[in-house]
Structure 1
Amino acid sequence: MAERAGVSTATVSHVINGTRFVSEEAKAKVNRAMEELEYRPNTLARGLRSQKSMTVGLIVPILPSDTSNFFFLTVAQGIQKVLREHGYQLLLSSNMSGTPEEEREQIRLLQSKWIDGLIIAPAAGGTGFPLEPGEDGLSVVFIDRQPQGVSGDCVLGDSFGGAYEAVSLLLEQGHRRIGYIAGEEGITTSSERYEGYRQALADRGLTPDPLLEKSAASSFESGYACAKELLGAGGVTALFVANNVQTMGAMKYIQERGFRVPGELAIIGFDDYDWTRVTTPPLTVIRQPAFELGCRAAEVLLERIGQPDRPPQEYRLKAELIRRDSC
C-alpha cells in the first residue's frame, strides 16, 4: 500500500486511522492506492484496538409521501461523505411515524450496535430528547431542529432568516395581504419560519392578521385545503408556504382555479426540489443547504467525539432565496 501510494507506512496508517494530520496531497495518494488495490480497512479490528466502533448512527423522520425525505437523504449524503473521509461508517435509521416513542426505540436499537456517536433530527411533539448528550459516553449532534429542554451541539438551517427574506421580497413588491401556510407546530423549524414571517411584517409597520395564517399537518391535502380557505375569501395577493409538500397542494388549488401567477397572485415556497423548477411558472423558493448541513453535522460530531467535554455549540447555515418567476 505505502509503495503504491509513494508514501511511508506511517503516513498510510495515519490516513486510515485518522491519528495525525496528513496533507491533502498525501491523503489523496493513499486513498487512490486503496481504491486501486480494492483495500478496505478492518473497522472491527480497529475498533477493538481503539475501543471505538468507528460507526455513527443517524435518525431522521422519513415519512411516507413526504417530500422532506429528499432533504434528509441529501443531509445523509453529506454526513456519509465526511465520515468516510475519516474512516467511519454510517448506520441510517428512520423514525417513520415521527413520534417520540419510535425515536426512543430507534435510539435504543442504535445503541445496541455500539455506535460512537449519534446524529438526529428530533421528533416533533416530544417533552424532551430521551437521552442526555454524553450519557453512556455517546456523542450526540442535533440537526435541522432543536430538542426541547436539552443542551447539545446543533447544526441548523436559518429558518427564520429564510422566511424573513421571502416575506420581505413580497413586501418590497407591494404586497400587503400575504397569506401564510405552514406545517404542524411542535418543531423549531416551524416556529422559526412563523417568527420570520411575522417579523418581516412588523418591521414594515404591518400588524400580522391571524386570518391570513394557516397551520396544519404537513401533507399535500392540507396545503390544498389551506390555499382554498385563504384564497377563496379573496383579498390575498401573495402566499408564502413554509413547507414543501404543502406548497405542492397549494399549487394544485391555484392551477385548478386558474389564478394568474404572478400577475394575480405571487407565491414563494420553502425548499428547492426539482418539481419547483418545472411548474408554470417556475417557483421562487427558499433553498436550504442540505448537503452542507450534513457535512457540518458530521464534522461537529467528530469534534465532539474527540473533545467530549467541550461546551455545546449551535451552528447556523444560511438559507438562500432562489428567484424564479412566481413573484
Structure 2
Amino acid sequence: MVSIKDVASKAKVSTATVSHVINETRYVAEATKQKVYSAMKDLNYQPNRIARSLRSQKSSTIGLLVPLVAEDTSNFFFMSVANGIEQVLKENGYNLILSNSNEQAETERDQIRVFNTQLIDGLVIAPVNGREYDYKEEFSGNYPVVFIDRHPSTGEGDRVLVNNRRGAYEAVTALIEKGHERIGFVTGSLGITTSDERLEGYKEALRERGLTIEEGYMQEGPATFKEGYSLAGKLHRAGVTALFIANNVMTMGAVSYLQEQNIAIPDDMAVIGYDDYDWMKVTSPPLSVVRQPAFELGKTAVEQLLKRIDGYKGEHQEIILDSELVQRGSY
C-alpha cells in the first residue's frame, strides 16, 4: 500500500506539502505541485476520499432520488434527467449517487435517511407524494435540496419543474383546431402533481373553446401498457374522435389497441402522446407528442444545487421550464 510518505520521498518534499497539494489547504508553488502529481501518478497513489471528506466536510458527491418503476417507460425520462445532471457534475468535479424510491413513499423516506447518514453535498429529488408530504422531518438540514418534476408542498428546497399544464393545453388546443370536439383524455394515477396539472390543461383548453367537459371522456388508471390499451378501447366505444394520452407507457398501449382494431390514425382517431421517444417516430404515422426538456431539467436542477453548495443564501426559487408540442402525422 503506497502511503503519503512514499509520495513525499519520491517528490523530494515534506509529507505536509503533499497533504496541502491533495487537500488544497495551503498555497503550493505550481512547480512543486507538478512534482507531487507526478510522484502520485508514478506510484499509482490514490488519496483516501473518505478521510478527505471528513476533514473538509465536503464529499464532492450529489445524491439523486427518483421514482423508477420497472414497467413504466418514464424511466427513460429520469435517465435523461440524470444525464443532464452528470454532465454538469463532471464539469465541476462532482460524483453522482443514484437511488430509486420505486414510487413508494416509505421506500423514499428510507432512502432519504440513508443519504442523511452519508456525506453528500446536496440532493436532487423527484418526490413521490409531493402534495401530501412536506419532508420536513426527513431531511437532515446538512445539505441543500432541489425538487424536480413534481411540485412539493414543502418550502424546504428549490424547485425545477416543467409546465405540464401548458403542454397539455397546447396539445388539446391543437386537436380542437383540427375540428375535434369529442376528445378523450387518458392519464396515469391522479394525485401526482404532473398528472393533475396535465388534466387541468386538458380542461382549460376545452373551457376556453366553449366545449363541454365530459366526465366519461376522462379516464384514469395505473400507468401501464395494459391499462392504456384498455382505456383507449373504452374511449373509442364512447365515440371520441381524438385521444390525448398524458403518459408515455399508456400511449404505447393505446396505439397498440388502435392498430389491432384497424383504426386509422389520424383519419379515424387522432392521437397526441406525452414525452418523445424513438419508437414514437417509427409508428405509422409518426406520433405527435408533448416533449419534456428532461436533459435541461437535470442540468438546471444541479446548477441551482451547486449555487447553494457554493454558499448562495437567497430565498428558495421555483424555475419552470417549457415543454414543446412536436407535430407529426397523428392528428
Q: Same fold (TM over 0.5)?
A: yes
1:306 aligns with one of 305, 310, 330: 310
2:90 aligns with one of 81, 84, 98: 84
Q: Which amino acid aligns with 1:155?
A: V
2 CA distance for matches of 1:200 and 1:126?
Answer: 24
SS of the counterpart of 1:59?
strand
| Residue 319, structure 1, aligned to residue 323, structure 2 | yes
1:128 aligns with one of 128, 133, 137: 133
2 CA distance for matches of 1:155 and 1:41?
Answer: 35
2 CA distance for matches of 1:286 and 1:146?
Answer: 19
Contact 1:57–1:117 (CA under 8 A) maintained in structure 2: yes
CA distance change for structure 1 residues 179 and 125 in 2, over 3 Å: closer, same or farther? same
Contact 1:241–1:270 (CA under 8 A) maintained in structure 2: yes
| Residue 189, structure 1, aligned to residue 229, structure 2 | no
Residue 99 of structure 2 aligns with which residue?
A: 93
Residue 56 of structure 1 aligns with which residue?
A: 62
Displacement after TM superposition at 1:124 (Å):
3.7
2:75 aligns with one of 69, 74, 93: 69
2 CA distance for matches of 1:41 and 1:288?
Answer: 41
1:250 aligns with one of 238, 244, 254: 254
Once the two structures are superposed, residues 52-78 of structure 1 have per-residue CA deviations (whole angstroms, 9 ceiling, x without a partner) of 111111011111111000100110011
Which 5+ residue runs of structure 1 have no aligned equivalent? 1-12, 18-32
- TM-score normalised to the size of structure 1? 0.84
Once the two structures are superposed, residues 190-233 of structure 1 have per-residue CA deviations (whole angstroms, 9 ceiling, x without a partner) of 11101111111111112211110001111111111111111013
CA distance change for structure 1 residues 257 and 56 in 2, over 3 Å: closer, same or farther? same
2:273 aligns with one of 269, 272, 275: 269
Displacement after TM superposition at 1:157 (Å):
1.2
Once the two structures are superposed, residues 226-276 of structure 1 have per-residue CA deviations (whole angstroms, 9 ceiling, x without a partner) of 111110132x11100000000011111111111111111100000001111
* Aligned-residue CA RMSD (Å): 2.5
Q: How many equivalent pairs are there? A: 295
Larger Rg, first or second structure (1 or 2) = 2
Identity %: 51
Contact 2:89–2:96 (CA under 8 A) maintained in structure 1: yes
1:173 aligns with one of 157, 178, 198: 178
| Residue 143, structure 1, aligned to residue 148, structure 2 | yes
CA distance change for structure 1 residues 39 and 164 in 2, over 3 Å: closer, same or farther? farther
Residue 207 of structure 2 aligns with which residue?
A: 202
Once the two structures are superposed, residues 154-213 of structure 1 have per-residue CA deviations (whole angstroms, 9 ceiling, x without a partner) of 111111111011011001111111000001012110111011111111111122111100
Residue 158 of structure 2 aligns with which residue?
A: 153
2 CA distance for matches of 1:133 and 1:309?
Answer: 21
Which stretch has the larger CA shift, 106-115 or 48-57? Answer: 48-57
Which 5+ residue runs of structure 2 have no aligned equivalent? 1-19, 25-36
Displacement after TM superposition at 1:46 (Å):
5.0
1 CA distance for matches of 2:59 and 2:258?
Answer: 52
Q: Which amino acid aligns with 1:144?
A: D
Displacement after TM superposition at 1:307 (Å):
3.2
- TM-score normalised to the size of structure 2? 0.83
